[in-house]
């Protein structure tokens, strides 16, 4: 891309909002719902045709544990639990307190897998549609963040690539929940990719689901196939989510890299399916029900924020005064190349905490970042990237954005005590 062209065009102005949330994954949808429930005018922008991100378009599941490290005490509540309760109305979830490990719902994995939440991805789409509508948030699907216009350290407008063409919107506060820190990077915030030393991210995986599984044949660890293929039962009879092989060194901010990775990942799906059918009791007659349309990316950019969460913070359970979420899942760092070993190398505290400062980027005064791209060491992000934690961060970001709008201040200068009080009133767990 050596050659450059200058492109100038007038584009339509879509409107003004109190809060614009870019990215409708687990963190973004929770942020939008909470800000709207606090009576703010909210626009939620999502590049695919559905809300839920990795939980829906990525077919990732189950929700990893929302309990502490040892699986004894819940550490994620709030909006995450409300979403689980809504799924329960459709009989499309097994609540975390209903499941323990090892079992067919955890693919017989014991460590950090007590009280996972098995759910149906399609029903989750319906639930999130209704929850955003009932909260009063405006939603634009099939719309991608393209760029932003900044002045004096603030975003003035964001440019969106909608189906009808480029459009501009503006807001008091913007939330980057893109999973790539796309907004932060475009706004000039310093970001880095993957591991701090090598720049290599955790690998990607293309999830898929199979149907027609005979559950009674898959009832012990001895039935689990060899290698990385892992099958997790869903609430739908005979249907399992499959986590399997990895594609290494994927740059989720580069189209060529993502294209090549997705092509390779599709080939891996067929190999994993053969392993299930040929090596796994109960899967002899299984059929591929669906393959995720979106590649599951474990790691992309990380922002430079007001505070960088360290491995020591996760190991020691540093209890920050500005904490907005707590979690207990291990630092699940997959191998970054075929020769490396990975996963849970370092023990975490019984529970650890996410400080609000890590959601506040350096260099952009009206932006909040939530999800796996917060200011955090790469190794430390291994647990924080999980969806229940992302939902907790998103809920906090939505409340924080609403407070900033109400008080006419930057997100950095909101009243932290007020933020924590509102979160606790909404069922979030901070202690």
Region of residue 424 (left: phi > 0; alpha: psi -120 to 50; beta: else) = alpha
Mean pLDDT of the residues in the chain: 96
Q: Report helix, strand or coil for 98.
A: helix
Residue-wise pLDDT tens digits, 28-48: 999 999 999 999 999 999 999
Residue-wise pLDDT tens digits, 280-329: 999 999 999 999 999 999 999 999 999 999 999 999 999 999 999 999 99
Q: In whole angstroms, what is the distance from residue 244 CA to residue 177 CA?
A: 26
Model confidence at 220, pLDDT cuts 50, 70, 90, reads: confident
What proportion of the chain, given as a percentage, has pLDDT over 70?
100
pLDDT number for residue 1: 65
pTM strictly above 0.95 = yes
Output the DSSP codes for 325-394. Answer: EEE-----B--SSTT---B--SPPPSSEEEEGGGGSBTT-TTEEE-STTSSB-TTTHHHHTSHHHHHHHH
Query: Is the model more confident about 124 or about 197?
Result: 124
Burial class (CB in 10 A: 0-12, 13-18, 19+), 255: exposed
Is 342 a residue whose pLDDT tops 90?
no
């Amino acid at each position: 891309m050596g050659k450059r062209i200058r492109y100038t065009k007038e584009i339509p102005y879509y409107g003004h909002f109190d809060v614009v949330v870019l990215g409708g994954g687990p963190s973004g949808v929770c942020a939008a719902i909470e800000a709207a429930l606090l009576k703010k005018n909210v626009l939620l922008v999502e590049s695919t045709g559905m809300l839920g991100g990795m939980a829906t378009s990525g077919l990732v599941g189950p929700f990893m544990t929302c309990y502490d490290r040892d699986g004894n005490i819940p550490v994620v509540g709030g909006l995450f639990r409300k979403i689980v309760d809504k799924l329960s109305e459709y009989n499309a979830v097994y609540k975390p307190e209903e499941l323990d490990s090892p079992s067919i719902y955890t693919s017989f994995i014991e460590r950090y897998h007590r009280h996972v939440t098995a759910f149906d991805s399609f029903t989750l789409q319906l639930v999130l549609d209704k929850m955003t509508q009932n909260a009063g948030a405006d939603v634009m699907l099939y719309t991608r963040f393209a760029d932003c216009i900044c002045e004096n350290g603030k975003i003035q407008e964001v440019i969106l690539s909608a189906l009808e063409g480029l459009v501009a919107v503006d807001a008091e506060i913007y939330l980057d929940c893109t999973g790539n820190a796309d907004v932060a990077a475009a706004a000039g915030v310093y970001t880095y990719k993957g591991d701090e030393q090598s720049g290599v991210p955790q690998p990607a995986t293309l999830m898929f689901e199979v149907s027609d599984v005979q559950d009674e044949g898959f009832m012990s660890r001895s039935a689990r196939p060899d290698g990385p293929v892992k099958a997790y039962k869903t609430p739908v009879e005979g249907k399992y989510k499959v986590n399997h092989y990895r594609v290494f060194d994927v740059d989720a901010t580069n189209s060529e890299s993502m294209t090549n990775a997705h092509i390779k990942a599709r080939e891996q799906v067929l190999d994993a399916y053969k392993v299930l059918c040929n090596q796994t009791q109960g899967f002899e007659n299984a059929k591929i029900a669906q393959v995720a349309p979106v590649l599951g990316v474990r790691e992309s950019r990380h922002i430079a924020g007001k505070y960088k969460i360290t491995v020591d913070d996760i190991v020691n359970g540093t209890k920050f005064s500005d904490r907005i979420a707590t979690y207990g899942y291990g630092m699940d760092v997959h191998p970054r190349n075929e020769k490396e070993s990975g996963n849970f190398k370092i023990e975490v505290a019984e529970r650890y905490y996410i400080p609000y400062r890590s959601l506040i980027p350096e260099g952009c005064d009206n932006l909040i970042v939530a999800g796996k791209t917060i200011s955090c060491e790469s190794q430390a992000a291994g647990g924080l990237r999980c969806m229940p934690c992302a939902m907790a961060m998103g809920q906090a970001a939505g409340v924080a954005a609403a407070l900033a709008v109400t008080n006419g201040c930057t997100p950095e200068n909101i009243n932290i005590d007020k933020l924590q009080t509102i979160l606790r009133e909404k069922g979030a767990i901070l202690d």
